Amino acid sequence: MFKLTSLLILGFLSSCSSDDIAKNADDEDSIPNEENTPELPDTESGENTEIYYYSKRNGVNNIYKSNLSGDETPIIRDPDHHDWWIRVSPDKQRILWYKSPLNVSENDEFNNYNEAELWMAHSDGTNPQKVIDLADYNWTAQGVADWSPDGEELVMAARESDNWRIYITDKEGKNPVRVSQDSNVDYADPSWSPNGQKIVFSKFVGLNLEIHVMDRDGTDEIQLTDDDAFQNYDAYWSPDGTEIAFESKWTILDCFLLGKWAIRKYNFATGLTTDVIKDDNRNGLARWTKDSDEIYFSVSVCGEFARIARMDRNGGSLETILEDADFPYYDCDIVE
Protein backbone atom coordinates (compact mmCIF):
# COMPACT_ATOMS: atom_id res chain seq x y z
CA MET A 1 0.00 0.00 0.00
CA PHE A 2 2.00 2.99 1.00
CA LYS A 3 5.35 4.32 1.58
CA LEU A 4 8.41 5.70 -0.02
CA THR A 5 9.42 6.81 3.44
CA SER A 6 8.85 3.36 4.91
CA LEU A 7 12.28 2.46 3.57
CA LEU A 8 13.68 5.30 5.59
CA ILE A 9 12.06 4.07 8.80
CA LEU A 10 10.45 0.66 8.94
CA GLY A 11 9.54 -0.95 5.62
CA PHE A 12 5.80 -1.27 5.09
CA LEU A 13 4.06 -4.64 4.76
CA SER A 14 2.11 -6.16 1.88
CA SER A 15 -0.07 -9.29 1.60
CA CYS A 16 -2.44 -11.25 -0.70
CA SER A 17 -3.36 -13.53 -3.71
CA SER A 18 -5.51 -14.42 -6.91
CA ASP A 19 -6.00 -14.74 -10.77
CA ASP A 20 -4.78 -15.48 -14.29
CA ILE A 21 -2.38 -12.90 -15.68
CA ALA A 22 -0.85 -12.49 -19.14
CA LYS A 23 1.97 -10.11 -19.93
CA ASN A 24 1.55 -6.97 -22.03
CA ALA A 25 3.89 -7.28 -24.99
CA ASP A 26 6.49 -4.52 -25.29
CA ASP A 27 6.56 -2.80 -28.67
CA GLU A 28 8.96 -0.52 -30.44
CA ASP A 29 6.90 2.67 -30.43
CA SER A 30 7.94 5.85 -28.69
CA ILE A 31 6.88 6.77 -25.19
CA PRO A 32 3.13 7.44 -25.21
CA ASN A 33 2.24 11.06 -25.94
CA GLU A 34 -0.61 13.14 -27.28
CA GLU A 35 0.26 12.37 -30.89
CA ASN A 36 0.18 8.55 -30.71
CA THR A 37 -2.37 8.02 -27.92
CA PRO A 38 -5.88 6.91 -28.89
CA GLU A 39 -8.61 9.32 -27.83
CA LEU A 40 -10.70 8.07 -24.94
CA PRO A 41 -14.20 9.32 -24.14
CA ASP A 42 -14.36 12.05 -21.54
CA THR A 43 -15.93 11.04 -18.25
CA GLU A 44 -17.98 12.86 -15.67
CA SER A 45 -18.29 12.31 -11.94
CA GLY A 46 -20.72 9.73 -10.62
CA GLU A 47 -21.52 6.63 -12.63
CA ASN A 48 -18.62 7.17 -15.08
CA THR A 49 -15.97 7.44 -12.36
CA GLU A 50 -13.12 4.98 -12.84
CA ILE A 51 -10.70 3.82 -10.16
CA TYR A 52 -7.18 2.69 -11.07
CA TYR A 53 -5.34 0.55 -8.52
CA TYR A 54 -2.96 -2.37 -8.16
CA SER A 55 -3.90 -5.74 -6.74
CA LYS A 56 -2.09 -8.98 -5.96
CA ARG A 57 -3.36 -11.99 -7.90
CA ASN A 58 -1.51 -15.32 -8.08
CA GLY A 59 1.38 -13.83 -6.14
CA VAL A 60 1.93 -10.85 -8.47
CA ASN A 61 0.90 -7.20 -8.09
CA ASN A 62 -0.51 -5.82 -11.35
CA ILE A 63 -2.66 -2.86 -12.34
CA TYR A 64 -6.41 -2.79 -12.89
CA LYS A 65 -9.26 -0.34 -13.14
CA SER A 66 -12.87 -0.57 -12.07
CA ASN A 67 -16.02 1.51 -12.22
CA LEU A 68 -18.13 2.15 -9.15
CA SER A 69 -20.22 -0.93 -9.95
CA GLY A 70 -17.13 -3.11 -9.52
CA ASP A 71 -16.69 -4.02 -13.20
CA GLU A 72 -12.95 -4.64 -13.45
CA THR A 73 -10.59 -4.32 -16.43
CA PRO A 74 -6.94 -5.46 -16.33
CA ILE A 75 -4.60 -2.67 -17.45
CA ILE A 76 -1.05 -3.91 -16.89
CA ARG A 77 -0.72 -7.70 -16.61
CA ASP A 78 2.85 -8.87 -16.25
CA PRO A 79 3.43 -12.25 -14.56
CA ASP A 80 7.17 -11.59 -14.39
CA HIS A 81 7.14 -8.32 -12.39
CA HIS A 82 5.30 -6.47 -9.66
CA ASP A 83 3.52 -3.35 -10.97
CA TRP A 84 2.47 -0.65 -8.49
CA TRP A 85 1.91 3.07 -7.81
CA ILE A 86 -0.46 3.89 -10.67
CA ARG A 87 -1.07 7.52 -11.70
CA VAL A 88 -3.27 8.73 -14.57
CA SER A 89 -2.30 11.82 -16.57
CA PRO A 90 -4.55 14.90 -16.34
CA ASP A 91 -5.75 14.38 -19.93
CA LYS A 92 -6.68 10.77 -19.03
CA GLN A 93 -4.70 9.43 -21.96
CA ARG A 94 -1.59 8.05 -20.23
CA ILE A 95 -0.56 6.26 -17.06
CA LEU A 96 2.69 5.96 -15.18
CA TRP A 97 3.64 3.32 -12.65
CA TYR A 98 6.60 1.45 -11.17
CA LYS A 99 7.78 -2.03 -12.07
CA SER A 100 10.06 -4.17 -9.88
CA PRO A 101 11.27 -7.80 -9.72
CA LEU A 102 9.52 -10.85 -8.34
CA ASN A 103 11.14 -13.22 -5.86
CA VAL A 104 11.66 -10.61 -3.17
CA SER A 105 10.50 -10.52 0.43
CA GLU A 106 6.85 -9.79 1.03
CA ASN A 107 7.78 -6.35 2.32
CA ASP A 108 9.37 -5.54 -1.07
CA GLU A 109 6.63 -6.77 -3.38
CA PHE A 110 5.68 -3.15 -3.89
CA ASN A 111 7.39 0.00 -2.67
CA ASN A 112 10.61 -1.72 -3.80
CA TYR A 113 12.28 1.61 -4.52
CA ASN A 114 15.77 0.11 -4.62
CA GLU A 115 14.92 -1.85 -7.80
CA ALA A 116 12.10 0.29 -9.24
CA GLU A 117 11.77 1.26 -12.90
CA LEU A 118 9.37 4.01 -13.93
CA TRP A 119 7.12 3.00 -16.83
CA MET A 120 4.50 4.73 -18.95
CA ALA A 121 1.71 3.51 -21.26
CA HIS A 122 -1.56 4.53 -22.84
CA SER A 123 -4.30 4.57 -20.23
CA ASP A 124 -5.68 1.26 -21.53
CA GLY A 125 -2.29 -0.36 -20.88
CA THR A 126 -1.12 -0.55 -24.49
CA ASN A 127 2.33 0.57 -25.64
CA PRO A 128 4.14 0.11 -22.30
CA GLN A 129 7.59 1.73 -22.24
CA LYS A 130 10.28 2.05 -19.59
CA VAL A 131 10.83 5.73 -18.81
CA ILE A 132 13.48 5.81 -16.07
CA ASP A 133 15.94 3.12 -15.08
CA LEU A 134 17.91 3.82 -11.93
CA ALA A 135 21.12 3.67 -13.96
CA ASP A 136 19.93 6.50 -16.21
CA TYR A 137 20.72 9.13 -13.59
CA ASN A 138 22.94 7.20 -11.17
CA TRP A 139 20.15 7.03 -8.62
CA THR A 140 20.12 4.24 -6.05
CA ALA A 141 16.33 4.30 -5.53
CA GLN A 142 13.28 6.11 -6.94
CA GLY A 143 9.56 6.41 -6.34
CA VAL A 144 6.26 8.30 -6.02
CA ALA A 145 6.23 10.04 -9.43
CA ASP A 146 3.21 12.21 -10.16
CA TRP A 147 1.98 14.30 -13.09
CA SER A 148 1.90 18.08 -12.97
CA PRO A 149 -1.61 19.54 -13.33
CA ASP A 150 -0.96 20.42 -16.98
CA GLY A 151 0.60 17.03 -17.69
CA GLU A 152 3.83 18.58 -18.97
CA GLU A 153 6.11 17.57 -16.08
CA LEU A 154 6.63 14.90 -13.43
CA VAL A 155 7.68 15.34 -9.81
CA MET A 156 9.29 12.42 -7.98
CA ALA A 157 11.67 11.41 -5.21
CA ALA A 158 14.99 9.70 -5.84
CA ARG A 159 17.94 8.75 -3.71
CA GLU A 160 21.42 9.86 -4.64
CA SER A 161 24.35 9.25 -2.33
CA ASP A 162 22.76 8.71 1.08
CA ASN A 163 19.71 10.97 0.92
CA TRP A 164 16.37 11.24 -0.84
CA ARG A 165 15.84 14.32 -3.04
CA ILE A 166 12.94 15.77 -5.00
CA TYR A 167 13.27 16.07 -8.78
CA ILE A 168 11.20 17.54 -11.60
CA THR A 169 11.49 16.05 -15.09
CA ASP A 170 9.73 16.67 -18.38
CA LYS A 171 6.65 14.57 -19.14
CA GLU A 172 8.78 11.77 -20.60
CA GLY A 173 10.97 11.47 -17.51
CA LYS A 174 13.92 13.26 -19.14
CA ASN A 175 16.11 16.15 -18.00
CA PRO A 176 15.74 15.76 -14.21
CA VAL A 177 16.31 18.89 -12.13
CA ARG A 178 16.81 18.59 -8.39
CA VAL A 179 14.63 21.13 -6.62
CA SER A 180 15.01 20.11 -2.95
CA GLN A 181 17.72 22.24 -1.41
CA ASP A 182 18.73 20.67 1.90
CA SER A 183 21.38 18.03 1.10
CA ASN A 184 21.53 16.61 4.63
CA VAL A 185 17.88 15.65 5.14
CA ASP A 186 15.59 13.11 3.43
CA TYR A 187 12.67 14.42 1.39
CA ALA A 188 9.72 12.18 0.40
CA ASP A 189 6.25 11.95 -1.15
CA PRO A 190 6.11 15.07 -3.37
CA SER A 191 2.95 16.14 -5.19
CA TRP A 192 1.75 19.31 -6.90
CA SER A 193 -0.47 22.21 -5.93
CA PRO A 194 -3.53 22.64 -8.20
CA ASN A 195 -1.87 25.45 -10.17
CA GLY A 196 1.45 23.63 -10.46
CA GLN A 197 3.40 26.42 -8.77
CA LYS A 198 4.09 24.67 -5.46
CA ILE A 199 5.02 21.20 -4.23
CA VAL A 200 3.86 19.58 -1.01
CA PHE A 201 6.10 16.90 0.50
CA SER A 202 7.26 15.13 3.65
CA LYS A 203 10.60 15.95 5.26
CA PHE A 204 12.35 14.86 8.40
CA VAL A 205 12.47 17.35 11.24
CA GLY A 206 14.61 15.58 13.79
CA LEU A 207 13.10 12.09 13.98
CA ASN A 208 9.66 13.18 12.81
CA LEU A 209 8.31 13.33 9.27
CA GLU A 210 6.44 16.60 8.78
CA ILE A 211 4.42 18.04 5.90
CA HIS A 212 6.04 20.99 4.09
CA VAL A 213 5.37 23.08 1.00
CA MET A 214 7.78 24.90 -1.27
CA ASP A 215 7.77 26.75 -4.57
CA ARG A 216 8.29 24.53 -7.58
CA ASP A 217 11.93 25.63 -7.79
CA GLY A 218 12.58 24.58 -4.18
CA THR A 219 12.55 28.07 -2.67
CA ASP A 220 10.31 29.38 0.11
CA GLU A 221 10.13 26.08 2.00
CA ILE A 222 7.51 26.19 4.79
CA GLN A 223 6.75 23.55 7.43
CA LEU A 224 3.00 23.01 7.92
CA THR A 225 2.78 20.29 10.58
CA ASP A 226 4.61 19.92 13.89
CA ASP A 227 3.51 16.59 15.34
CA ASP A 228 5.70 14.84 17.87
CA ALA A 229 3.21 11.96 18.05
CA PHE A 230 2.79 11.40 14.29
CA GLN A 231 4.76 10.46 11.19
CA ASN A 232 3.15 12.23 8.23
CA TYR A 233 3.22 10.94 4.64
CA ASP A 234 1.72 11.20 1.15
CA ALA A 235 0.15 14.65 1.17
CA TYR A 236 -2.25 15.68 -1.62
CA TRP A 237 -3.63 19.15 -2.25
CA SER A 238 -7.39 19.54 -2.64
CA PRO A 239 -8.27 20.74 -6.17
CA ASP A 240 -9.91 23.86 -4.69
CA GLY A 241 -6.55 24.71 -3.09
CA THR A 242 -7.86 25.17 0.45
CA GLU A 243 -6.61 22.01 2.19
CA ILE A 244 -3.98 19.29 2.09
CA ALA A 245 -4.93 15.73 3.05
CA PHE A 246 -2.26 13.31 4.25
CA GLU A 247 -1.80 10.12 6.23
CA SER A 248 -0.36 9.94 9.72
CA LYS A 249 1.03 6.93 11.54
CA TRP A 250 -0.12 7.63 15.08
CA THR A 251 0.83 4.38 16.83
CA ILE A 252 2.95 1.33 16.03
CA LEU A 253 1.47 -0.73 18.85
CA ASP A 254 -1.03 -2.64 16.76
CA CYS A 255 -1.21 -5.41 14.15
CA PHE A 256 2.32 -6.81 14.48
CA LEU A 257 3.80 -3.29 14.72
CA LEU A 258 2.22 -2.17 11.45
CA GLY A 259 0.41 0.38 13.54
CA LYS A 260 -2.64 2.53 13.02
CA TRP A 261 -2.85 5.25 10.40
CA ALA A 262 -5.16 8.25 10.26
CA ILE A 263 -6.04 10.54 7.37
CA ARG A 264 -5.75 14.15 8.46
CA LYS A 265 -5.84 17.49 6.70
CA TYR A 266 -4.24 20.88 6.99
CA ASN A 267 -6.42 23.93 6.32
CA PHE A 268 -4.64 26.99 4.90
CA ALA A 269 -7.26 29.46 6.13
CA THR A 270 -7.11 28.36 9.76
CA GLY A 271 -3.60 26.92 9.91
CA LEU A 272 -5.07 23.94 11.79
CA THR A 273 -4.59 20.21 11.32
CA THR A 274 -7.65 18.05 12.00
CA ASP A 275 -8.51 14.34 11.76
CA VAL A 276 -10.63 13.19 8.84
CA ILE A 277 -10.63 9.52 9.83
CA LYS A 278 -8.79 8.05 12.81
CA ASP A 279 -9.76 4.53 13.84
CA ASP A 280 -8.17 1.12 14.41
CA ASN A 281 -7.19 0.64 10.75
CA ARG A 282 -4.38 1.71 8.43
CA ASN A 283 -5.90 4.45 6.28
CA GLY A 284 -3.82 6.13 3.62
CA LEU A 285 -3.16 7.70 0.22
CA ALA A 286 -6.04 10.15 0.19
CA ARG A 287 -7.10 11.01 -3.37
CA TRP A 288 -9.48 13.94 -3.85
CA THR A 289 -12.36 14.07 -6.30
CA LYS A 290 -12.06 16.97 -8.71
CA ASP A 291 -14.80 18.95 -6.93
CA SER A 292 -12.88 18.52 -3.61
CA ASP A 293 -16.03 17.15 -1.96
CA GLU A 294 -14.87 13.54 -1.47
CA ILE A 295 -11.74 11.56 -0.69
CA TYR A 296 -10.98 8.04 -1.90
CA PHE A 297 -8.39 6.12 0.11
CA SER A 298 -6.93 2.72 0.96
CA VAL A 299 -7.97 0.88 4.12
CA SER A 300 -6.12 -2.06 5.67
CA VAL A 301 -7.86 -3.90 8.50
CA CYS A 302 -5.54 -6.14 10.50
CA GLY A 303 -5.87 -9.72 9.26
CA GLU A 304 -7.88 -8.76 6.16
CA PHE A 305 -7.06 -7.70 2.62
CA ALA A 306 -6.81 -4.00 1.81
CA ARG A 307 -9.82 -2.29 0.30
CA ILE A 308 -10.71 1.08 -1.22
CA ALA A 309 -13.17 3.35 0.55
CA ARG A 310 -14.69 6.79 0.08
CA MET A 311 -15.79 9.55 2.46
CA ASP A 312 -16.68 13.21 2.28
CA ARG A 313 -13.92 15.74 2.95
CA ASN A 314 -14.80 15.91 6.64
CA GLY A 315 -14.92 12.15 7.21
CA GLY A 316 -18.66 11.61 6.88
CA SER A 317 -20.60 9.31 4.53
CA LEU A 318 -17.93 6.61 4.82
CA GLU A 319 -18.45 3.65 2.50
CA THR A 320 -16.41 0.81 1.06
CA ILE A 321 -16.11 0.98 -2.72
CA LEU A 322 -13.97 -2.04 -3.64
CA GLU A 323 -13.23 -5.11 -1.51
CA ASP A 324 -12.79 -8.84 -1.97
CA ALA A 325 -12.24 -11.71 0.44
CA ASP A 326 -9.58 -13.26 -1.82
CA PHE A 327 -7.30 -10.38 -2.82
CA PRO A 328 -6.43 -6.77 -1.94
CA TYR A 329 -6.99 -3.38 -3.57
CA TYR A 330 -4.09 -0.99 -3.10
CA ASP A 331 -3.51 2.72 -3.75
CA CYS A 332 -6.09 4.29 -6.06
CA ASP A 333 -6.16 7.07 -8.62
CA ILE A 334 -9.51 8.54 -9.65
CA VAL A 335 -10.63 9.42 -13.18
CA GLU A 336 -13.87 11.39 -13.45
Question: Distance between CA atoms of 67 and 59, rounded to whole angstroms?
Answer: 24
Q: Which domains does the chain have, with CATH numbers?
A: 5-35+46-335 (2.120.10.30)
User: What amino acid is encoded at 146 in this protein?
Assistant: D
Q: 281-330: per-residue pLDDT in tens? A: 999 999 999 999 999 999 999 988 999 999 999 999 999 999 999 999 99
Distances (CA, A) of 272 to 232, 243, 264, 285, 314: 15, 10, 10, 20, 14
The predicted structure's pLDDT at residue 106: 79
Question: Distance between CA atoms of 336 and 51, rounded to whole angstroms?
Answer: 9
Q: How many CA atoms lie within 13 A of 224 on its CB side?
A: 27
Q: Which one-letter DSSP state was computed for residue 37?
A: S
Q: 45-80: per-residue pLDDT in tens? A: 457 899 999 999 999 999 999 999 999 999 999 999
Q: 240-268: per-residue pLDDT in tens? A: 999 999 999 998 877 877 889 999 999 99
The predicted structure's pLDDT at residue 21: 30
For the chain, give the mean pLDDT: 88
Among 329, 322, 279, 280, residue whose Cα is nearest residue 67: 322
Residue 17 has pLDDT above 70, yes or no: no
Average pLDDT over residues 12-29: 35
Residue 151 has pLDDT above 90, yes or no: yes
Q: 119-134: per-residue pLDDT in tens? A: 999 999 999 999 999 9
Q: Are 264 and 297 in contact (CB under 8 A)?
A: no
Residue 196 has pLDDT above 90, yes or no: yes
Q: Are 156 and 175 in contact (CB under 8 A)?
A: no
Residue 13 has pLDDT above 90, yes or no: no
